[in-house]
Amino acid sequence: MDNKEAPKPPTLFTVREVADFLRVHQRTAYRLITGGSIKAIKIGSQWRVPEKDLLEFIESGWKVAANKSKDAAKPDQFKLPLD
């Protein structure tokens, strides 16, 4: 008999669980999912978000925030109209 373990299925979050996890309104979580910002799968009429995709969404937010903080150190540039 083979002693290999069956692969563990991914953890899937509901829209409500995503909202609770992100501490946003359920409607906001739904918009993030249906808008494609958070990768999800639709099972019947309900959305499910794999844990890895939720974590990737959070990680992408950290990267954006880091880039914005780097840009904040640069002086603002103003373009004047040349007439």
Domain boundaries, the chain: 12-61
Strands (E), 7-60: 12-13, 41-43, 46-50
- Flag whether pLDDT at 38 surpasses 50: yes
Residue 43: pLDDT band (50, 70, 90) is: very high
Reading the block at residue 73, the tokens are 């150190």
- Flag whether pLDDT at 31 surpasses 90: yes
In the block, tokens 């150190």 appear at: 73
pTM for this prediction:
0.70
Contact 22, 13 (CB under 8 A): no
- Flag whether pLDDT at 1 surpasses 80: no
How much is the average pLDDT of 46-50? 98
- Flag whether pLDDT at 60 surpasses 50: yes
Which CATH number is associated with domain 12-61?
A: 1.10.10
Q: How much is the pLDDT for 83?
A: 45
Rounded CA gap, 43 and 22, in Å? 22
Q: How much is the pLDDT for 4?
A: 77
